[in-house]
Amino acid sequence: MENKERRDTILKMLQQASKPVTGTEMARVCQVSRQIIVGDIALLRASGTPVISTPRGYQLHAFHKHGCQESFLCKHGPELVEAELDAIVDNGGIVHNVVVEHEVYGFMEGELNLKSRRDVQLYIQRMKKTKAPLLSSMSNGVHTHLVETETEEEMEAIHKALEKLGVLVG
């Protein structure tokens, strides 16, 4: 399968999927390594295709014209990551990302796209399994999350839950 044909196949898989598609599944269908798929995803993103990574695989980002978005500035150590993320998804939020400001590199972003406790659990398990450091470890625990909800009431509930945890800055 040629490069363009493979990327077209990946895009078609994402468009037809009702749930995230794993890199392993794409690699199997395209008969290439998972690393080739990672490169193809990067090229699709660079060309403007809104592909996002989730703990369960890749999917196309569906842009919503309704609902609310807010960026929460937080500070805490690794012991509160799961509680913070659960507080957001339990109150109807989607955690789109985590962003930190680095002294040299400027703003650094990691896509999360967590929508449920299951997503949070998969994320936590993956972090433990890989022993990858949290992005916030580079900024003394300070980070932001872009959060999306359907309603203002859900956003207010998230704000209160994060305040109760003591993770909000300011």
Query: Would you state the pLDDT for residue 104?
Result: 86
pLDDT of 59-91, one tens digit each?
988 655 568 999 999 999 999 999 999 999 999
Instruction: Indicate whether 55 pLDDT > 70.
Output: yes
27-54 pLDDT, tens digit per residue, is 999 999 999 999 999 888 888 788 888 8
Ranges 56-60, 89-93, 163-167: which has the least confidence: 56-60
- Fold classification of 68-165 is Histidine-containing Protein; Chain: A; (3.30.1340)
Is residue 169 within 8 A of residue 73, CB to CB? The reply is yes
Strand (E) or helix (H) holding 15: helix 3-16
CB 109 within 8 A of CB 139: no
Task: Kindly list the domain boundaries of the chain, sorted by start residue.
Answer: 3-60, 68-165
pLDDT digits (tens, 9 = 90+) for 88-138: 999 999 999 999 988 888 888 898 999 999 999 999 999 999 999 999 999
- Is CATH 1.10.10.10 the right assignment for the domain spanning 3-60? yes
Q: pLDDT value at position 54?
A: 80
Average pLDDT over residues 130-157: 94
* The length of the chain, given as a count of residues: 170
Angstrom distance (rounded) from CA 156 to CA 70: 10
Q: Residues 147, 88: contact at Cβ < 8 Å? A: yes
Alpha-carbon distance 6 to 140, whole Å? 42
pLDDT value, residue 65: 52
Q: Give the pLDDT confidence score for residue 105 in this predicted structure.
A: 82
Measured CA to CA, the distance from residue 88 to residue 27 in angstroms comes to 33
Q: Quote the pTM value.
A: 0.70
